[in-house]
Structure 1
Amino acid sequence: MTMDPRDLPPAAEYVLRLLDPEDEAAFETAMRSDRALEAEVAAWLRHFEALNVEFPEESVRRSVKTRLMERLFDTPRVTEPIWRRVWLWQGISLAALTLAAVLGVQSLTGPAAPPGSAVYVSEIVSETQNLRLLAAYDPTRGELKLTRTAGGAPSGRVLELWAIRGDAAPASLGVLSDAETTAVPLPEAFRDPAGLILAISEEPPGGSTTGAPTGKVLALGEAVAL
């Protein structure tokens, strides 16, 4: 960049998280009713996206994955342990988080959100990056909006969405359609992002009949409040 950081416009400072909390909150309030400002944020996001290339990816230790997958999914039904075939998220990328934030803000430009509700997002991604979905919770409709940005279900199979909180067993949120964008009604129990994990498994047509994942768990994501 040749621009003096002191001359950056508010939209660029917002993308780089340089605004103080009060200014950031005021900016997000303004963005909810200003589509031009949303577009400016998206443009700055694309401008800064290449900065992510400078940071190497860090993998979670295998022991952490093992303990988590044992706790969440109990004993797998397949010979190969499930945690050896599933990658745990490395965190939401700057690009995905900012785009999801814009999506979340756009969803609130309609009716007012219920008191105490919160927008949250999750990047649900596989180890190889060949399956990736962006999820944003819309409290005005009680829906989780999912946008598939890469990959799909294996031939003859479907993708099923699961929600996990704490030590509870995975709860199915339904089978995802083949459409790029899907809206899933979200039960009250999963409208708070604290400790919430979203997972995608591949299942037979119609989805799991056991109330638990029966096929491979392909992707995982952690809910992050905006």
Structure 2
Amino acid sequence: MTETELPEDDRALAGEYVLGLMSMDEAAAFKARLTREPRLAALVLSWQEDFAGLADEVEAVPPPAKVWRGIDRRLFAGARGPRWMLAGIPGILAAALAVMLVFFPVVTGVQPPANPVYHIDLAGDDGTLIFAAGFDGETNELFVRPESGAPDAGTVRELWLIAGDNAPVSMGVLPDAAPARLPVSQDIAAQLDGAVLAISVEPPGGSPTGAPTGPVIATGAVETL
């Protein structure tokens, strides 16, 4: 039996699965079938490739961080999973690609937390998302992922915690391009709730003074998931 000979119901279900139209339980049951039915898995892959190809004709215009968070809450309210990973996906493919990321995650050397306690969108004044971050309460690490741009030559980007009226506290130098996990002390973790994170431009190695010395290029409120 070829892909085209699959039952019409299965062809429709594959499309619903890729588009994210199933409930969480229905999607989990359908996903279990993919390990047993290679032709069905191939059909799902075909759907994914077709939708991914549409992105070639869509100009990537990142929405303001606040707008994306509002869309994310409305689409995925109540869903458990790494929703914050989806920040920065452009345009009309957001819902379809969201499901692809949840059920077919890209394997990298540094994995995000499955259930982050906090989420932070670090965006510039124009709304451009610079970094997405999630705090892993099980390991006391902050997963950070660059979303746009790279530091200028001879500079680094440093992450700061701003809790209330307290002076900024460095959380470390951020990676240039790849995701990373930054260890977070118990003292810093206790201050995350309701705090703000900021990114400043610093010389190689980070701020020499223990306080931001360069321009602040992004900020983001720590949000509870």
Shorter-chain TM-score bucket reads 0.5 to 0.7
The answer to whether the 8 A contact 2:113-2:134 is kept is no
For residues 12 and 191 of structure 1, the distance between their equivalents in structure 2, rounded to whole angstroms, comes to 36
Counterpart among 152, 157, 160 of residue 159 in structure 1: 157
Q: CA deviation at 1:128?
A: 3.1
Partner residue in 2 for 1:198: 197
SS in 1 for 2:86: helix
Q: What is the CA–CA distance in structure 1 between the aligned matches of 2:129 and 2:148, rounded to whole Å?
A: 5
Deviations 1:49-98 (A, max 9, x none): xxxxxxxx89xxxxxxxxxxxxxxxxxxxxxxxxxxxxxx6465335747
TM-score (normalizing by structure 2):
0.53
Corresponding position of 1:214: 213
Q: Show structure 1 runs of 4+ deviating over 2 A.
A: 11-14, 89-100, 106-109, 128-131, 189-194
Q: In 2, distance between residues paired with 1:171 and 1:205? A: 18
Aligned with residue 179 of structure 1, among 177, 180, 197: 177
- 1:108 and 1:146, CA in 2 relative to 1: closer, same or farther beyond 3 A? closer
**1:214–1:191 Cα change, 3 Å:** same
Per the alignment, do residues 152 and 98 of structure 1 end up closer, same or farther by CA in structure 2, a change over 3 Å counting? closer
Larger RCO: Structure 1 or Structure 2 (Cα < 8 Å, ≥ 6 residues apart)? Answer: 1
Deviation at 1:140, TM superposition (A): 1.5
Q: Which amino acid aligns with 1:132?
A: I
Say if 1:128 and 1:165 are closer, same or farther in 2 by CA, change over 3 A: same
Q: Select 1:119's aligned residue among 108, 117, 120.
A: 117
Please say which of residues 157-166 and 182-191 is displaced more in the overlay: 182-191
Cα distance, 1:178 vs structure 2: 2.0
Give the direction of change, closer, same or farther, for the CA distance of 1:218–1:107 in structure 2 (3 Å limit): closer
Q: Which runs of 5+ in 1 are unaligned?
A: 1-7, 47-56, 59-88
In 2: Cα distance, 1:107 partner to 1:151 partner? 20
The aligned counterpart of 1:99 is 86
Matched, 1:145 2:143: yes
For residues 120 and 172 of structure 2, the distance between their equivalents in structure 1, rounded to whole angstroms, comes to 17
**1:151 CA displacement:** 1.0
The residue aligned with 2:96 is: none
Whether 2:121 is the aligned partner of 1:134: answer: no
Q: How many residues align?
A: 163
Q: CA RMSD in A?
A: 4.7
- How far apart are 1:127 and its partner, in Å? 1.7
Residues 107 and 128 from structure 1, CA distance in 2 versus in 1: closer, same or farther, beyond 3 angstroms?
closer
Secondary structure at the counterpart of residue 150 of structure 1: coil
In the alignment, which residue of structure 1 is the partner of 2:12? none
TM-score by structure 1 length?
0.53
- The CA deviation string for residues 17-56 of structure 1, in whole angstroms up to 9 with x for no partner, is xx9xxxx9x99xx8xxx9x9xxx9xx9xx9xxxxxxxxxx
Q: Which runs of 5+ in 2 are unaligned?
A: 1-15, 35-43, 52-62, 73-82, 88-101, 106-110
Instruction: Measure, in 2, the Cα distance between the counterparts of 1:133 and 1:108.
Output: 16
Amino acid at match of 2:86: L
* Distance in 1 between residues matched to 2:189 and 2:148, nearest whole Å: 25
Question: For residues 214 and 145 of structure 1, what CA distance do their matches in structure 2 show?
Answer: 24
| Percentage of identical aligned residues | 35
Report if the CA contact (8 A) 2:197-2:222 is conserved: yes
Q: Which residue of 2 aligns with 1:75?
A: none
Q: Which amino acid in structure 1 is aligned with residue 212 of structure 2?
A: P
Is the 1:158–1:202 contact (alpha carbons within 8 Å) kept by the matching residues of 2?
yes
Deviation at 1:199, TM superposition (A): 0.6
Q: CA deviation at 1:130?
A: 4.9
